[in-house]
């Protein structure tokens, strides 16, 4: 039996050595000699000259002789002033961005003889109607089944409550093998620390 184990170990070592030898040969690519360095040439050119500006002189001012002849200074007569009463100003257009509020109208209390909504009576009527059976089901075969009690939790709420993980401090299943079971729990679906 020990000879079988020794033979198995020897075969395993031989296979590993062959795999390592073939793996080393695959990784390396054939080495090519590096290319010789090429010289780098840089030519520097001066910037182009700025474009020439041709400035034209401003036109000469017109001669002073072309001006109109001056009038002799004569006193003027004052013009008569006529007083006119000003026209009444037209009403200004309302500003479109201003909201004018309507004048407040006092609210009169309703007369004493008008009927009022009684909240307590409405609640009492609603409670009495809630316990009645559906009149559309009366006299049918379905009416024989008892009605479901009102649910306080939805199905989703019950599923969420059942999904809660138990506390690991309360006890880990597996006894002495519990650490191995915790290491094997890759999905983190076991107990909560």
Q: Could you list the pLDDT tens digit for every one of the 193 residues in the chain?
A: 788 888 899 999 999 999 888 877 655 666 778 888 888 888 888 888 888 777 777 777 766 555 555 566 676 777 777 777 777 666 667 777 777 777 777 777 777 777 888 999 999 999 888 877 777 777 788 777 877 777 777 888 888 877 777 676 666 666 677 777 777 765 666 666 6
Residue 73, Ramachandran bin (φ over 0: left; ψ between -120 and 50: alpha; else beta): beta
CA–CA separation, 182 and 193 (whole Å): 11
Residue 174: predicted pLDDT: 67
Q: Which residues pair with 167 in a beta bridge?
A: 192
């Amino acid at each position: 039996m020990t000879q079988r184990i020794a033979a198995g170990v020897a075969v395993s070592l031989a296979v590993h050595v062959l795999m390592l030898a073939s793996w080393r040969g695959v990784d390396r690519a054939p080495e090519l000699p590096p290319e010789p360095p090429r010289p780098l040439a840089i030519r520097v050119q001066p910037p182009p000259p700025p474009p020439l500006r041709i400035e034209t002189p401003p036109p000469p001012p017109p001669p002073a002789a072309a001006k109109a002849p001056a009038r002799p200074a004569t006193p003027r007569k004052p013009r008569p002033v006529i007083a006119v009463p000003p026209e009444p100003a037209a009403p200004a257009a309302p500003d479109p961005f201003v909201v004018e509020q309507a004048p407040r109208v006092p609210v009169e209390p309703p007369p004493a003889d008008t009927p009022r909504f009684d909240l307590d009576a409405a609640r009492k009527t609603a409670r009495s109607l809630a316990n009645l059976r559906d009149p559309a089901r009366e006299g049918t075969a379905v009416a024989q089944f008892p009605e479901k009690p009102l649910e306080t939790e939805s199905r989703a709420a019950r599923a969420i409550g059942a999904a809660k993980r138990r506390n690991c401090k309360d006890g880990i299943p597996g006894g002495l093998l519990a650490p191995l079971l915790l290491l094997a729990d890759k999905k983190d679906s076991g107990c909560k620390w």
